[in-house]
Structure formats: structure tokens, C-alpha cells
Amino acid sequence: MASAMFSTPCSVRPVKGLDCQSYAGLRLNTDLKLNTSVSIKSKKDGQSSRRLFIARASEKREEYLQKLGRSNEEHEAAVAAGNVPEAPPIPPTPAAPAGTPVVSSLPLNRRPRRNRRTYVMRASFQETTLSPANFVYPLFIHEGEEDTPIGAMPGCYRLGWRHGLIEEVSKARDVGVNSIVLFPKIPDALKTPTGDEAYNDNGLVPRTIRLLKDKYPDLVIYTDVALDPYSSDGHDGIVREDGVIMNDETVHQLCKQAVSQARAGADVVSPSDMMDGRIGAIRAALDAEGFQHVSIMSYTAKYASSFYGPFREALDSNPRFGDKKTYQMNPANYREALVELQADEAEGADILLVKPGLPYLDVIRLLRDKSPLPIAAYQVSGEYSMIKAGGVLKMIDEEKVMMESLMCLRRAGSDIILTYFALQAARCLCGEKR
């Protein structure tokens, strides 16, 4: 009995009990799952039985494929004379299950499902793609040699800058992630109200940059420009005695921090502080020191979000008092992002970032539509930890939700994504098992 032959690859898992050698046109891989067994009720005894869907190759398959040793001209002459070679028959129309109502076809000129009919067609028309090259991997570092797990962020560690960090970067590069951003855990003894350790050329971050560039010269290193890891007050800027965050004085410190990082070999400095005017001031400071080649990724729309909790545990950088609402944006505001965008563009930013990511897809799209610059999204610690927790509790499929969330950030308009899932997601994209 003949059956349909597939003209495109069909990716299905092997079915236990089937002789895969007798099934033509099926190329097996493990990328897609197909449940080939359905449960039906027997009308006679009410017992469940299993029925397999089987696609058998034509018994005459070899005859169809056999070469006859004729020239092209001889084949054409034979067809012109009416001797058309045999090919597989037109496949039968698949039967609907018993009880399906018989209805007239709806008078639809446009049926969007036609373009979703097969895996190959869906892949052909996919509008958004996801690649390891889209990821920037945030990595926490500290002075010690031991990697310390971060309780609120399963799978993340404070990495020893000379050992664990090198190993983690190597793993990421193996699956195509060649961009990282560094976040330091600074010893309390080095923290001061003015955050002077931020621009120590022999501090943790500059030392780490030099080590990484010596080991991996082509690694793209982003750095965080802000005072909170270095501040005894835990704020992104210098705090006046009345609790006010001092803007211009903080910007002065940030310029020195950015220059120190560039001197060590940073490729992209990333001001996350949300002080007014800092992009222009940092650009001028970098250029004055000969670092015209160093890019600036501005945290353009950084919201005063509750999704940052696990991150602050990782760096032990919670504010000693108050909150960050006088410099980070109000989560209720949308149009205000345009004010920040226009300022950052005018001051010389090279990349514009939105933080957090998934709860602010509308803001990502706003920046994408209004600016020709590359857009970054930060899938923050709270987003990461919620997906991890849901996976552990079996409430969601962690891997599928992870990949969907990253695809949504791309679809909204982000060119790059800062994500703690970078290594795990890249392994999925490369076909590796977790």
C-alpha cells in the first residue's frame, strides 16, 4: 500500500517499536516532539487502547528512484511519446474522526494558518530570531578564590576573579556568548561615602578586565558605571547629610570611574546611575584621555523597580536608608522615557538600555521606534529568579519559559539582552542538554 512521500525534512522523535529503516522521507532528530500514539475508547468493552499513526513508504519506492541509464534527451522523447514514468500516487485525503460534523468550507480568502502548517514554513516566516550573539552575560565577581552561591539567584555565583570567572567565561564562549558585563562585590572596608574605590586602577574591576583581556583578547567586556557597589551608603551617588543624592558631584566621580575602566581595556562602559548629564560628561572624559573607541551603553530608562532584590543581595549593595526613587524612573511613566532617550542621544550614547525587561516591553518598543541606536534590554534578577522558582516548583517548564521570555524581549525591539540565562539559553540554542 502506497503512502505520501515528504518533500521536506520532517523532524520527529523515534517511536519505540518502529523499524525506522522502513519509513522513507523522515529524518530523525531530537529537536521536536511528536506524540504518535493516541488513546481511544473501544465501543465494545469501554477499554482504552493505543493506536499508532504510521506513515509507510511506498512499496515501489526503489522502482521510483531507480536510474535507467538513459540520456536526458531519451527521457524527454519518452515523455513526449506518452511514456510518462511512474511516480507515487496522489496521497489520500486524511480521514476526520468519527462524529465530526460535515460542514461547508467557510468563504475565507485569507487563512493565516496556511503559513503555520509545517515546521519548515513556520521557520521560513519567523520574524524574530534569537542567537547567542544577542546575549550579554552578567557575572558577579569578588576577591576570593571560592565561588559563592547566591541564594536568591539559583545557578548564579559570586565568582573568584582569577579562577571561577575564567572558567565561566570559557563555558560561555564555547556556545557563542562572547560578551559579558562585570558586577563587583566590594569588601566593606573599601566602601566610603564618596566611593573612591570605583576609580582605583588596581581595584577589582580593572584587575579583572586586564586578566580577561590577556586571556581572551576578543572578549567584549561591558562594565557597570555607578557608585553603589563602592558606597558605604549603598546609593548610586554621593549622599548629602539631608539624604539628597548629589548629581554633579557624583558625575565627577563617574567620569573618573569610566576612564579607569577604559584604561584597563573595557570595550563598553555602562552608566547605570541615572544622574542627569552623565553621558555627555563621560563621553568628554573618555575622549580627553584618548578613549574615543570606547562605547557608552546608557541605562536610558532604568526604573525604580522591585525586581532588583536578588541582585542587591548578590552585591550586598542595598541602600543603607531610603530608596532610589529620586533618580530612577517611576514605573508608572512611559513618556518620560522619551526625555531620557533624547538627552542620551544628544550627549553621545552608543547603546540605549531599558531595565527591567519583560515588564517594560512597551518601553523597549518605544525606544526602538524612536531611535536608530541599538537597544538593549536587561532581564533582571527578579525576572530570572521567578522563572527559576517556577521551574523548581514544576509550575512552568523552565526552559520553554526562559526561551519565550528572551524571544519576547527580542520581538519588542532589543538588539542585545543582558540576561543571567545567557549560558543556559545559548546551550539550548546550540542543541546541548542542560
Set 191, 302, 324, 388: catalytic member: 302
Q: What is the pLDDT of residue 25?
A: 35
Instruction: Provide the 3-class DSSP secondary structure of residue 174.
Output: helix
Cis (ω within 30 of 0) for the bond into 356? yes
Q: What is the pLDDT of residue 69?
A: 85
* Rounded distance between C-alpha atoms, residue 155 and residue 132, angstroms: 19
Question: N- to C-terminal Cα distance for the chain?
Answer: 43
Taking the complete model, does pTM exceed 0.85, yes or no?
no
Phi, psi values for residue 157, rounded to 5°: -140, 155
Burial zone of 177 (CB within 10 Å; 0-12 exposed, 13-18 middle, 19+ buried): buried
Q: Which pLDDT tens digit goes with each residue over 76-95?
A: 999 999 999 888 899 999 99
- Give 110's DSSP letter: -
| Nearest of 237, 216, 112 to residue 174 by alpha carbon | 216
Q: What is the pLDDT of residue 9?
A: 40
The answer to whether residue 325 is catalytic is no
CB 363 within 8 A of CB 334: yes
Instruction: Return the beta strands (E) in 21-72 as ranges.
Output: 37-41, 48-52
| Nearest of 430, 353, 405, 431 to residue 173 by alpha carbon | 430
Q: What is the pLDDT of residue 87?
A: 87
- Which residue type does 155 have? G
The total number of residues written for the chain in this structure: 434
Burial zone of 423 (CB within 10 Å; 0-12 exposed, 13-18 middle, 19+ buried): buried
> Which residues, in sequence order, are CB contacts of 389 under 8 Å at separation 6+?
154
Alpha helix stretches (DSSP H) within 8-147: 61-65, 72-80, 119-124
pLDDT in tens, the chain (434 residues): 444 333 334 443 433 333 333 333 333 344 444 444 444 444 444 444 444 444 555 556 666 677 888 899 999 999 999 999 888 899 999 999 999 999 999 999 999 999 999 999 999 999 999 999 999 999 999 999 999 999 899 999 999 999 999 999 999 999 999 999 999 999 999 999 999 999 999 999 999 999 999 999 999 999 999 999 999 998 999 999 999 999 999 999 999 999 999 999 999 999 999 999 999 999 999 999 999 999 999 999 999 999 988 876 776 667 777 789 999 999 999 999 999 999 999 999 999 999 999 999 999 999 999 999 999 999 999 999 999 999 999 999 999 999 999 999 999 999 999 999 999 999 999 986 54
Set 185, 191, 324, 355: catalytic member: 355
CB 209 within 8 A of CB 268: no
The answer to whether residue 355 is catalytic is yes
Which residue has 480568502 as its cell numbers? 109
